[in-house]
Amino acid sequence: MEDWSARQYLKFEDERTRPPRDLLAQVPLQRPHRVVDLGCGPGNSTELLVERYPDSQVYGLDSSPDMLRKARERLPDCKFIEADIATWRPQPGTDLIFGNAVMQWLPDHPAIMRGFLEAMPAGGVLAIQMPDNTREPALRFQRQVAASGPWADNPEVKAAARDDLPSPEAYYDLLRPACTHLDIWHTVYNHVMASPQAITEWFKGSSLQPFLSPLDSVAREKFLAAYTAKIVGAYKPRYDGKVLLRFPRLFILAVR
Ligand SMILES: C[S@@+](CC[C@H](N)C(=O)[O-])C[C@H]1O[C@@H](n2cnc3c(N)ncnc32)[C@H](O)[C@@H]1O
């Protein structure tokens, strides 16, 4: 996947930071020793962890240099490392592994999460939130546009769509044997967007990226125009001209 654009992602910072707030509110730890923010992005979720745990060693991890640059600017006293979650393993004594809006990008994330839990000390917490929105119109349209334009045979575009998440039952069966406590829940947000076009802007900072990054600038514009036309047809303005972006998210809180 091409580098993420921190600037695009932060256009909707308030909305994007609400799920990690809701996830962190459920973490039962008072004073963890070492905390890691997986897929820390521009540091918005790391900032929440630093505020809640000022006496803990908190660090952020991401694979994107652009995101890490922004995160370091935002939290100059915090440590950030460039790494791939697929090959990263927690240091001994890591008692909170926090991952907001990142694990969905790793196809084998259920097994990775189980491995993290097994590596954690008793009482350690794995706290994960992932978009569970692949069946929403906004994500369906990404797949439809990808399959119907001149880019349809591009192998990177073909591989760009995320699979549906496994069911809560599948996560339960896999993770519960490695936990003393496991809580799995969904929250459906209805984000208020200024216009249907704002929905395109939102996803340019996340799930549209893998579709767009293999394309040249002309093809990108064509892809975005076709996508926005579908969005305009499906997400109708409310009485004040705004539109609601329905956004289901899956939360998993596991205590070792
Ligand atoms: C949607 S952003 C989440 C940012 C932030 N955690 C938040 O709560 O808003 C996902 C981040 O995960 C990073 N990422 C994606 N796959 C990754 C991987 N395999 N290893 C490390 N970071 C990854 C991306 O670079 C991006 O910064």
Asked whether residue 2 carries a pLDDT value surpassing 60, the answer given is no
Q: Mean pLDDT over residues 178-196, rounded? A: 97
Q: Is 23 in the pocket of ligand 1 (CB under 6 A)?
A: no
**Average pLDDT of the residues in 40-58:** 97
State phi, psi for 189 to the nearest 5 degrees. -90, 150
If you average pLDDT over residues 16-34, what whole number do you get?
96
Residue 9 has pLDDT above 60, yes or no: yes
- Per-residue pLDDT at 189 exceeds 50: yes
- Atom 27 (ligand 1): residue with closest C-alpha? 41
DSSP string, 9-57: HGGGHHHHHHHHHHHHTT---SS-SEEEEET-TTTHHHHHHHHH-TTSE
* Distance separating alpha carbons of residues 222 and 145, to the nearest angstrom: 10
Q: What mean pLDDT is predicted for residues 74-92? A: 96
Q: Which residue has the tokens 């998210």?
A: 249
Q: For the residues 198-221, what does the mean pLDDT come to?
A: 96
Res. 26 pLDDT band, cuts 50 70 90? very high
Query: Please, what is the angle between helix 137-148 and helix 196-204, to 10°?
Result: 70
**What local confidence, expressed as pLDDT, does residue 1 receive?**
44
Task: Tell whether ligand 1 has an atom less than 6 A from the beta carbon of residue 43.
Answer: no
Percent of the chain with pLDDT over 70: 98
Amino acid at 189: Y
Mean of the per-residue pLDDT values for the chain? 95
Q: Ligand 1 centre and the CA of 48: distance in Å?
A: 16
